Amino acid sequence: MILVIFDVDGTLVFSEKKDSQSFADTYQRVYNRPFPTIDWKKYPHVSDTTIFKTVIQEHFDRIPDEAEEESFRQKFVANIIENRKKTPAEFKQVPYAKQTVDKLLVDDRFVVGVATGGWKAPAIVKLNFVNIITDQLIITGADGKVTREDITNETIDKAKNLHGEFNRIVYVGDAIWDFTTTQNMGLPLIGIRRKGDVDFFQQLGVQAVLQDYEDYPRFLSYCLG
């Protein structure tokens, strides 16, 4: 069996940073402080947990507890839903993402996971926006985890507990931190570059790169290795 693990933002769903801006807006609304930047590369790790804790520590010289983080997370989810209602065209699927997930789920060779640097609750909301059914996916978010390696390892552990060992594990992602994570973990990466700049990953030595999922046979061949 093969475990295929997807990132969410930019890989299955794209929102032109509307979700990132929702994070910043929620923070500013709750704490009445300007959010430093939505350029996630500026933070020690690209995970909602790390980003939230880093900004709180910078502004208030303390670490938020779980209750404070959960309260913020709920407000963030509500803000995303509110923004979606105002601009329903936002939060689109990367072309053919839903169809690809659906096909993998009914193919006995594959188990499908999600490892997102975002918290789990907003990730599920965004996947539901584009009609990707989540109840059959093994989903791990940044809840209680600092690094993307931590998040991905938890998805792998959950999948192994359910299905045993895998012949192959492959990660599908769109950003430089997906490349770094897979390099650190020794996992093959399938790169998704929705805007067509596939050379972004190719210059890093990644050969399995697509603009989207329209060419399912090609995507499948990358999964099979």
Q: What is the pLDDT of residues 79-116, one digit of tens each?
A: 999 998 888 888 899 999 999 999 999 999 999 999 99
Q: What b/e sequence results for 7-20 when a residue is b if at least 16 CB atoms lie within 10 Å of its CB, and e otherwise?
A: bbbbbbbbbeeebb
- Residues with Cβ within 8 Å of residue 174, at least 6 apart in sequence: 7, 9, 10, 11, 191, 192, 193, 194
Hey, what are 122's tokens? 């907003």
- Whole-number percent of the chain with pLDDT over 90: 94
Return phi, psi of residue 52, to 5°: -60, -50
pTM: 0.95
Which residues, at least 6 apart from 195, have a Cβ–Cβ distance to it below 8 Å?
211
* pLDDT(23) > 80: yes
The token pair that represents 33 in the structure block: 């402080």
Which pLDDT band holds residue 181 (cuts at 50, 70, 90)?
very high
Pick the CATH number of 2-15+92-224 from 2.120.10.70, 3.40.50.1000, 3.40.50.1860, 1.10.10.10: 3.40.50.1000
Mean pLDDT of 60-69: 96
Q: Give the count of beta carbons closer than 10 Å to the beta carbon of residue 47.
A: 25
pLDDT average, residue stretch 193-218: 96
Mean pLDDT of 61-72: 97
Q: What pLDDT score was predicted for residue 34?
A: 96
Over 90: is that where the pLDDT of 223 sits? yes
Residue 8: the pLDDT is 97
User: In sequence order, which residues have a C-beta less than 8 Å from that of residue 43 and are 6 or more positions away?
Assistant: 50, 51, 54
Contact 29, 76 (CB under 8 A): no
Q: Where are the domains of the chain?
A: 2-15+92-224, 18-86
pLDDT at 17 over 90: no
